[in-house]
Amino acid sequence: MLVSAKEMLDKAKAGHYAVGQFNINNLEWTKSILLTAQACNSPVILGVSEGAGKYMAGYKTVVGMVNGMLQELKITVPVALHLDHGSYEGCLACIEAGFSSVMFDGSHYPIEENIAKTKELVALCHEKGISIEAEVGAIGGEEDGVIGRGECADPKECKMIADLGVDFLAAGIGNIHGKYPANWEGLSFETLDAIQQLTGDLPLVLHGGTGIPTDMIQKSISLGVSKINVNTECQLSFAAATREYIEAGKDQQGKGYDPRKLLAPGAEAIKATVKEKMEIFGSVDKA
């Protein structure tokens, strides 16, 4: 059964480790991540962006697939199904469809509007036992190589949003989505420290987990990060393994074109990436 992400993240914060949110794109992704979490005895959060939700034929399809896998694969570790960077409408749709957690990303609104909308959604989610993440300080990113550092959130605004009763908070601390450009200046630990001073026990979320050096990951966990989002890194490992299979001509040998064979190296590569992250985040054996 899906669970809210609140309890697993409160435990992570108290235990000084982080739970990974791994974004899913299809059946192979979901199965690889769930099997790895089970093998590592680790809690896990499956992230679904609005685009990925649409790609997978809608939120209800996603809920059906994930719930089916939990049963059929006998997954017993805590699993949360979480909307990633949701709009207000997206959050409502996922609450309705059976997600156990949502993120409302109101970071592009003026702070007053972010507060008003977050407050409304907090009440709705908590009525149903669903956890909710909010965001302050937009986490930008594209591979244009221009960005030196992502936006840094205002700690006072973080405190205002934290006080609305959100279960965990994403705050920009120089992190960005996708690959980091060569001129990236790194995470702003001063910002993270200032945010944690004001938000206390609230678990903090680090987006853009792909490509952040291990020492920075560990330092951010020591400063209150309890959830780390990873998406691009699984995509890169999947693509590299698939490329290798095809370049070796294996799709043209025997029944190598069968999707169950063609997609297998990529699915294994995702497992390896997820395991490596769980080890770095410290969530192994914390189920």
Least Å distance, CB 186 to ligand 13P, is: 15
Tokens of 246: 């095809």
Closer by beta carbon to ligand 13P, 245 or else 266: 266
Closer by beta carbon to ligand 13P, 28 or else 133: 133
Least Å distance, CB 49 to ligand 13P, is: 7
Residues that bind ligand 13P in the complex, under the rule CB under 6 A = 23, 47, 84-85, 177-178, 207-210, 229-233
Closer by beta carbon to ligand 13P, 37 or else 245: 37
Least Å distance, CB 36 to ligand 13P, is: 16
Least Å distance, CB 115 to ligand 13P, is: 21
Closer by beta carbon to ligand 13P, 64 or else 178: 178
Active-site residues, by number, are 84
